[in-house]
């Protein structure tokens, strides 16, 4: 039976329906508010606002729960690879064997990019950040896929457009990196799976094919799964806002990529590494920076701490913390930045300032060290974030 809350305004009562979500969480439907009262709501940062009804992801920030299509993230990292998760996010269920094969073949089929699009890379300056090249190139895909510009989200063509962008983003991302180093471009290898192919396009040399180490491929796969979706955040909301004008998929995603670039969102793990490097190089010790972050008169923030949604712990950070140690051990890497990170973490978790404000390490606190360990350069950290978020962004366009 429908339930309502009553809004009292002067002598008038307005009944607003309560909406119940898949996990029994409740929200108030205010769609009639303006028409019936002339009022609007003010919700800076949209922390109290759901902009759509979606079954893709459930988060309980207080309890540290993250689920995609009902599956807890802790389960997804043990049973799946990234393309399975992409399928899950887009189509609502984990794929059966033949469904995964078809989906993977579709992705492989579209990995190449048009030759004249390749030449566009040459016109960027040598020092162009890959995160600047990426949205430009994703938007440029619209020029090469004009038959896919006016398609409905539920059409078959939309699946093709989705496969193209999931697939080509890896090639474009790897080439943006090669461009920044003045290196020749590596073409995709259809015999490699998604993560291995990306590593090959990033690191193979004309005179030496990059041997994809199993541990590194698995680590990258884990990393991709962990970030596969995180509800209506800054970048996915941007994709939806652009898409709501019926702009094409390529342009909508391109706008979302720009939104992801900032250090308070997708750029945070780069900022964490920069912070740890500064601490290492300057030798003032972590306490100096922790105190700076607590100082009311300073704008300084401890990067990798705090989260808009998670107020007790970030489940992704918990998983990644365990895997950072494992990966460093397996690859036999000693990283002085990890020692600094551990010292900061231990101090902050006992510090009243951070406890009172519920500031815990977020996933980005560990992800920079994790990515460094598997050989990903710092200017590619946010680019990886883009690759991970493409499937969910596509799906958010249809809800």
Determine if 321 is a binding residue for ligand CMC (CB under 6 A): no
Q: What gap in Å lies between CA 131 and CA 262, rounded to an integer?
A: 10
Determine if 318 is a binding residue for ligand CMC (CB under 6 A): no
Contacts with ligand CMC by CB under 6 A: the residue count is: 18
Is residue 357 within 8 A of residue 307, CB to CB? The reply is no
Let me know if 364 is a catalytic residue. Answer: yes
Q: In terms of CB distance, is 6 or 44 closer to ligand CMC?
A: 44
Catalytic residue selected from 307, 325, 335, 339: 307
User: For every residue of 120-149, which 3-state class applies, written as one string?
Assistant: HHCCCCCCCCHHHHHHHHHHHHHHHCHHHC
Provide the minimum distance between the beta carbon of 21 and ligand CMC in the complex, in angstroms, as a whole number.
Answer: 21
Let me know if 307 is a catalytic residue. Answer: yes
Is residue 276 within 8 A of residue 340, CB to CB? The reply is yes
Provide the minimum distance between the beta carbon of 256 and ligand CMC in the complex, in angstroms, as a whole number.
Answer: 12
Provide the minimum distance between the beta carbon of 230 and ligand CMC in the complex, in angstroms, as a whole number.
Answer: 6
Q: How far is CA 49 from the centre of its chain?
A: 21
CB within 8 A of 70, min separation 6: which ones? 22, 58
Provide the minimum distance between the beta carbon of 314 and ligand CMC in the complex, in angstroms, as a whole number.
Answer: 7
Question: Where does residue 302 rank: exposed (0-12), middle (13-18), buried (19+ CB within 10 A)?
Answer: buried
Provide the minimum distance between the beta carbon of 357 and ligand CMC in the complex, in angstroms, as a whole number.
Answer: 4
Q: In terms of CB distance, is 216 or 320 closer to ligand CMC?
A: 320
Determine if 18 is a binding residue for ligand CMC (CB under 6 A): no
Determine if 307 is a binding residue for ligand CMC (CB under 6 A): yes
Which listed residue (187, 301, 318, 342) binds ligand CMC by CB under 6 A? Answer: 301
Q: In terms of CB distance, is 36 or 295 closer to ligand CMC?
A: 295
Nearest to 121 by CA among 173, 174, 176, 77: 176
Residues 328 to 367 in contact with ligand CMC, rule: CB under 6 A: 357, 359, 362, 364
Write b or e for each residue in 109-123: b if 16 or more Cβ atoms lie within 10 A of its Cβ, otherwise e. ebbebeeebeeebee
Q: What gap in Å lies between CA 252 and CA 270, rounded to an integer?
A: 24
Q: In terms of CB distance, is 201 or 390 closer to ligand CMC?
A: 390
Determine if 59 is a binding residue for ligand CMC (CB under 6 A): no
Q: In terms of CB distance, is 199 or 359 closer to ligand CMC?
A: 359
Which listed residue (308, 318, 326, 342) binds ligand CMC by CB under 6 A? Answer: 308
User: Cα dist. 124→113, 121, 127, 142 in Å?
Assistant: 17, 6, 8, 19
Which x/- pattern over 142-171 shows residues binding ligand CMC (rule: CB under 6 A)?
Answer: ------------------------------
Determine if 381 is a binding residue for ligand CMC (CB under 6 A): no
Residues 209 to 268 in contact with ligand CMC, rule: CB under 6 A: 230, 233, 264-265, 268
Provide the minimum distance between the beta carbon of 348 and ligand CMC in the complex, in angstroms, as a whole number.
Answer: 9
- The residue sitting closest to ligand CMC, measured at its beta carbon, is 306
Q: In terms of CB distance, is 168 or 389 closer to ligand CMC?
A: 389
Provide the minimum distance between the beta carbon of 149 and ligand CMC in the complex, in angstroms, as a whole number.
Answer: 30
Nearest to 54 by CA among 390, 391, 395, 315: 395
Determine if 186 is a binding residue for ligand CMC (CB under 6 A): no
Q: What gap in Å lies between CA 18 and CA 4, rounded to an integer?
A: 5
Nearest to 366 by CA among 307, 297, 317: 317
Q: Round the CA-based radius of gyration of the chain to a whole number and report it.
A: 22
Nearest to 68 by CA among 22, 110, 29, 24: 22
Is residue 261 within 8 A of residue 250, CB to CB? The reply is no
Q: What gap in Å lies between CA 210 and CA 250, rounded to an integer?
A: 30
Residues 20 to 39 in contact with ligand CMC, rule: CB under 6 A: none
Query: What DSSP letter does each residue of 234-267 carry, written as one string?
Result: HHHHHHHHHHTTT--HHHHHHHHHHHHTSTTTTT
Provide the minimum distance between the beta carbon of 234 and ligand CMC in the complex, in angstroms, as a whole number.
Answer: 7
Q: In terms of CB distance, is 249 or 303 closer to ligand CMC?
A: 303
Residues lying near ligand CMC in the complex (CB under 6 A) are found at: 230, 233, 264-265, 268, 293, 301-308, 357, 359, 362, 364
Catalytic residues: 307, 364
């Amino acid at each position: 039976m429908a339930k309502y809350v009553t809004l009292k305004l002067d002598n008038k009562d307005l009944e607003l329906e309560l909406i119940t979500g898949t996990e029994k969480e409740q929200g108030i439907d205010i769609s009639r508010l303006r028409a019936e009262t002339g009022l609007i709501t003010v919700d800076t940062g949209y922390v109290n606002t759901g902009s759509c009804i979606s079954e893709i992801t459930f988060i309980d920030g207080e309890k540290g729960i993250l689920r995609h299509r009902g599956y807890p993230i802790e389960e997804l990292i043990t049973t799946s690879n990234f393309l399975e998760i992409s399928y899950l996010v887009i189509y609502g269920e984990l794929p059966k064997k033949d469904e995964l094969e078809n989906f993977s073949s579709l992705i492989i089929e579209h990995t190449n990019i048009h030759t004249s699009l390749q030449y566009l890379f040459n016109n960027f300056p040598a020092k162009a950040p890959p995160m600047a090249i990426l949205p430009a190139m994703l938007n440029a895909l619209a020029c090469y896929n004009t038959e896919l510009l006016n398609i409905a989200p539920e059409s078959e063509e939309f699946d093709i457009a989705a496969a193209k962008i999931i697939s080509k983003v890896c090639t474009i991302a790897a080439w943006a990196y090669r461009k920044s180093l003045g290196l020749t471009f590596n073409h995709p290898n259809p015999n490699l799976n998604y993560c291995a192919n990306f590593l090959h396009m990033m690191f193979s040399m004309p005179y030496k094919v990059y041997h994809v180490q199993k541990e590194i491929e698995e680590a990258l796969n884990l990393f991709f799964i962990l970030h596969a979706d995180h509800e209506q955040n800054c970048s996915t909301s941007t994709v939806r806002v652009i898409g709501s004008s019926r702009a094409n998929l390529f342009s909508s995603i391109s706008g979302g990529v720009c939104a992801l670039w900032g250090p308070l969102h997708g750029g945070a793990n780069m900022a964490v590494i920069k912070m740890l490097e500064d601490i290492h190089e300057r030798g003032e010790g972590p306490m100096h920076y922790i105190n700076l972050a607590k100082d009311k008169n300073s704008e300084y923030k401890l990067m990798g701490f705090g989260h808009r949604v998670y107020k007790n712990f970030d489940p992704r950070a918990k998983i990644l913390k365990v895997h950072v140690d494992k990966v460093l051990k397996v690859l036999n890497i000693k990283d002085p930045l990890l020692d600094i990170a551990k010292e900061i973490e231990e101090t902050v978790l006992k510090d009243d300032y951070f406890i009172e404000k519920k500031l815990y390490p977020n996933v980005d606190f560990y992800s920079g060290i994790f990515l460094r360990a598997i050989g990903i350069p710092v200017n590619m950290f946010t680019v990886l974030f883009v690759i991970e978020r493409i499937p969910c962004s596509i799906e958010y366009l249809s809800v």
